[in-house]
Structure 1
Amino acid sequence: MSNRRTLLKAAGLAAVSHVALRTALRPAPASAAASERIRLGVIGIGPRCRYVLGGMLKHADVQCVTIADVQASRREQGKQLVDQQYGDTNCETVIDFRRVLDRKDIDAVLIATGDRWHATASMLAAEAGKDVYSEKPCGITIDLCRRLSDTIARTGRVFQAGTQRRTVANFAQAVELAQTGKLGKLQKLHATVYIPEINTTWLPGQPTPDPKVCDWNMWLGPAAWRPFHQDYVNGRWRGYVDFDSGARLLDWGAHTVDLCQWANQSDDTIPVEYSPDETGITARYENGVELRIHFLETPFGERPGWVQSLGTCPVRFEGTEGSVEVGDSGGIVIKPESIGRGLPQLPKKESGLDVEAHSRNFLDCIKSRELPNANHIVMRRSHTASHAAALSWLLQRKLQMDPSTETFVGDDEANRLRFRPERDWA
């Protein structure tokens, strides 16, 4: 644990938010010679990836050269996006992402497949010598998060999780208030998530398409074999235990629990206790700080108890002297207001700037070989905390966890659920 803490402090991630603020406001290079560009491969190019890739392509020092996706329609959409950016037709497309990893001229990959693939693809990419930007959740089990983090550390690759709120100014400012004692002694952290869901009614099988149209075996990857259904490949896979991560709790938990971890300066540890109830999960850190994970019935609608104008993914940090609440609107609410006097003015929220800044941090760290804002250590701990919370909800009982081993204390069933069987897809 001491080595992890040293690494985090060296990267400036356990300190205050000026790191993220500086990155968020740093301009991208206006131009870059071809020899200075980071050559990027894309693995999985659905709607989310096209959004993230659009932010990355605003940086002149990165060039996307190849796209892998199991669906022909998505490969074509991705190629059109990239070719339009560069005014040529040079972007290669392939079905099997291993062809991307085989290329010696590719420096980094953007991975935005379904959840079931993130960890496996990231580990294979690191082993192939590529730096990795992976969409969250980066691993669908506690075990996969551990193995991924260990692989990144062993190979020395740069890894950035797609938890871009680590590089957004209002979230960073809220964390600074919590870390620097402006709120007094930190007492309670509040995170929001979807109501957990497990779908056990599988869709009826349909004829398996030609692999050139949709390679179903590669779509499934390490997940258990299931008959093909078009709805799965169209995105209706969330909530299915073989495909999803943590009963959907990590959809937002990967962001909101992560921000609470950051505020509590817990990037090298996790809560030691998790207790579920009807409206959420209460976790407790070894230092006595409480983390309350709230289930939201309407995450994109009315959110009782929260400042509606702050938008989605809200978090709140409470101390003995005050509180701060932030969300995706770019705003911040500090109580009492006097705590916020003298803070720098937050930049105006603009669509796409979050992933643009987060990818800028990733690209800069590829060059410097420093730890990015959402590095593998940060990912491992915040994801593990979210997974542990999800398992307490699934089992409907209190769980105790040893942060040093990432194992549950005295609970064999919970420990078995840290793993899932992996299919031989290769």
Structure 2
Amino acid sequence: MSAAAVSGSSRWGTSRRAFLQSAATVAAPLVVPASALGRGGFTAPSERLTLGVIGIGPRCTYDLTAMLKFEDVRCVAISDVQQTRRDAGKKLVDTAYGNADCRLYRDFRELLDRKDIDSVIVATGDRWHAAASILAAKAGKDVYSEKPCGITIADCQRLADVMLAEKRVFQAGTQRRSVANFQKAVELVHSGRLGKLHTMHASVYIPTLDNSWLPAQPLPARDQVDWNLWLGPAAWRPFNQAYCDGKWRGYWDFDSGARLLDWGAHTVDLCQWANQADDTLPTEYEPTENNIICRYANGVKLIIDFLPTPFGDRSPHYITRLGTCPVRFIGDEGWVETGDEGEIVVMPESLQQEIPDAAKRVRGLDVSVHARNFFDCIRSRGTTAANPLVMRRSHVACHAAAAAWILKRKLQFDPQTEEFIGDPDATLLTSRAARRWE
């Protein structure tokens, strides 16, 4: 008798005992956790939307922290050119889920190659937003992009065109469209409670234009900081860690519209909405020492006011206690102002009684509702609050205003063609040459 026969093994390498144990396992009732079936308020894993992250700094950490609370969404991958940020992101995700499943990538293109990822957050520096979002859309991903979504007019136009052509769900990170106090302020305008709208004030930081370079430092190992990939389509500069730590703002090569879009992407966007101008743009942009005056074809005036500090002197247009990023809408029968603190001030005072507590939010920039809108639209294939065309028009308005500030002269603009009229210098500012980074 062979040794195999003595051990009870078949010629297929399976013992009789193992076979019986296997059969018993198959015959036994299958016990599956309720969470795996989507019961008890849980979402079955097969029904969850999967999310990847492209660039995880402080802003993305804020966004992602809100998204990690959604039971029907799972962040499965993070890409960042800096190892320290990759590692911090993984710790955030793994801690939230109680596992170690989040995958890390230095090159976001490897993340985009994954067929199991439904959507991405693009939260790099401004220089990458449009290019990374476009590559993500072409890879079949839906996109939540931090603002500003493009550093030139041409960037914003192409980004919107690609999202529509690829039929991707897109949400710009202009979350004030989903925040109650700003929604209520716009509603007061649209309902006619302030009379006929004639003037809007949008606050921004004082614009800046810096073409200087920080001193060169020794280039780190590529896994530590991939400097070429950090720069991406931006012009080549010698490495300096300060850029990677967020000190890139205000530099022409890296920033958007002389920093005007830092706040303008929010405040000008709200003014576009209040003026029911999501399908058009101002026709004229006139820079002054303290603001840029923009005029619409319907006669409404948008004044983009420069503020020296977030909580600095706002006289005479803004009420300091209302917080950062304030806007004011003025009609011929009253006005409303609100900011990031959530309080709404309305004149005449009789309208103040119409502001419900639900329209006032707690201190801080809550992105939960905006992010929820994005994921709900992924499921329904519906239109988001800050969809590609909304983003395009409000961003182009900001860029056109920035061009007027840079050139120090009044500019005329055609809202239909989205082109400057009779000013070749302004036209040159609508695009930038992209560096070959691949």
Using structure 2 for the length normalisation, give the TM-score. Answer: 0.89
Task: Report whether the alignment pairs 1:414 with 2:426.
Answer: yes
State the match for 1:332 in structure 2: 344
Aligned length: 398
- Note if contact 1:41-1:100 (Cα within 8 Å) is conserved in structure 2: yes
Q: SS of 1:234's equivalent? A: helix
CA deviation string 1:119-170 (max 9, x = no partner)? 0000010011100000000000000000000000101000000001000000
For residue 182 of structure 1, report the CA deviation from its aligned partner: 1.0
State the match for 1:16 in structure 2: none
For residue 342 of structure 1, report the CA deviation from its aligned partner: 3.9
- Judging changes above 3 Å, is the alpha-carbon distance between structure 1 residues 322 and 105 closer, same or farther for their aligned structure 2 residues? same
State the match for 1:296 in structure 2: 307
CA deviation string 1:297-340 (max 9, x = no partner)? 12233422211111100000000110000100011001002234
- Note if contact 1:361-1:372 (Cα within 8 Å) is conserved in structure 2: yes
Letter in 2 for 1:299: P
Spell out structure 1 runs of 4+ moving beyond 6 A: none
- Judging changes above 3 Å, is the alpha-carbon distance between structure 1 residues 389 and 353 closer, same or farther for their aligned structure 2 residues? closer
Q: Distance in 2 between matches of 1:418 and 1:32?
A: 45
Task: Report whether the alignment pairs 1:109 with 2:109.
Answer: no
Segments of 5+ residues of structure 2 without an aligned counterpart are 1-39
Using structure 1 for the length normalisation, give the TM-score. Answer: 0.92
State the match for 1:20 in structure 2: none
Q: SS of 2:431's equivalent? A: coil
Task: Report whether the alignment pairs 1:134 with 2:145.
Answer: yes
State the match for 2:404 in structure 1: 392
Task: Report whether the alignment pairs 1:356 with 2:372.
Answer: no
Rg larger for: 2
Q: Distance in 1 between matches of 2:217 and 2:350?
A: 61
- Judging changes above 3 Å, is the alpha-carbon distance between structure 1 residues 216 and 353 closer, same or farther for their aligned structure 2 residues? closer
Q: Distance in 1 between matches of 2:315 and 2:54?
A: 39
Q: Out of 308, 328, 343, which is 2:320 matched to?
A: 308
Segments of 5+ residues of structure 1 without an aligned counterpart are 1-28
Letter in 1 for 2:167: G
For residue 206 of structure 1, report the CA deviation from its aligned partner: 1.1
State the match for 1:370 in structure 2: 382
Over the matched positions of the two proteins, sequence identity in percent amounts to: 63
Q: Distance in 2 between matches of 1:273 and 1:62?
A: 44
Q: Distance in 1 between matches of 2:212 and 2:315?
A: 31
Task: Report whether the alignment pairs 1:86 with 2:97.
Answer: yes
- Note if contact 2:216-2:240 (Cα within 8 Å) is conserved in structure 1: yes
Q: Distance in 1 between matches of 2:365 and 2:330?
A: 28
Q: Distance in 1 between matches of 2:334 and 2:256?
A: 34
Q: SS of 1:235's equivalent? A: helix
State the match for 1:404 in structure 2: 416
Task: Report whether the alignment pairs 1:283 with 2:283.
Answer: no
Q: SS of 2:366's equivalent? A: helix
State the match for 1:17 in structure 2: none
Q: Distance in 2 between matches of 1:60 and 1:70?
A: 29
State the match for 1:36 in structure 2: 47
CA RMSD of aligned residues (A): 1.2
State the match for 2:20 in structure 1: none
For residue 350 of structure 1, report the CA deviation from its aligned partner: 3.2
State the match for 1:183 in structure 2: 194
Q: Out of 351, 357, 367, which is 1:345 matched to?
A: 357
Larger relative contact order (CA 8 Å, sep ≥ 6): 1
Q: Distance in 2 between matches of 1:97 and 1:167?
A: 29
Q: SS of 1:190's equivalent? A: strand
Q: Out of 175, 184, 199, which is 1:173 matched to?
A: 184
Q: Distance in 1 between matches of 2:302 and 2:426?
A: 20
Q: Distance in 2 between matches of 1:43 and 1:351?
A: 28
Task: Report whether the alignment pairs 1:267 with 2:278.
Answer: yes
Q: Distance in 2 between matches of 1:396 and 1:348?
A: 39
For residue 30 of structure 1, report the CA deviation from its aligned partner: 5.1
- Note if contact 2:412-2:421 (Cα within 8 Å) is conserved in structure 1: yes
- Note if contact 1:123-1:152 (Cα within 8 Å) is conserved in structure 2: yes
Q: Distance in 2 between matches of 1:351 and 1:361?
A: 21
Letter in 2 for 1:334: V
State the match for 2:203 in structure 1: 192
Q: Distance in 2 between matches of 1:198 and 1:300?
A: 22
Task: Report whether the alignment pairs 1:251 with 2:267.
Answer: no
- Note if contact 1:55-1:353 (Cα within 8 Å) is conserved in structure 2: no
- Judging changes above 3 Å, is the alpha-carbon distance between structure 1 residues 30 and 165 closer, same or farther for their aligned structure 2 residues? farther
Q: Out of 147, 163, 169, which is 2:174 matched to?
A: 163
Q: Out of 159, 162, 165, which is 1:154 matched to?
A: 165
Structural mapping, 1:232-243, within 5 Å = 232-243=243-254
CA deviation string 1:44-69 (max 9, x = no partner)? 00011001000111111110000000
- Judging changes above 3 Å, is the alpha-carbon distance between structure 1 residues 329 and 210 closer, same or farther for their aligned structure 2 residues? same
Q: SS of 2:247's equivalent? A: coil
For residue 353 of structure 1, report the CA deviation from its aligned partner: 6.4
State the match for 1:23 in structure 2: none
**Quick check: 255-264 or 31-40, which moved more?**
31-40
State the match for 1:217 in structure 2: 228
CA deviation string 1:212-243 (max 9, x = no partner)? 00000000000011110010001100111000
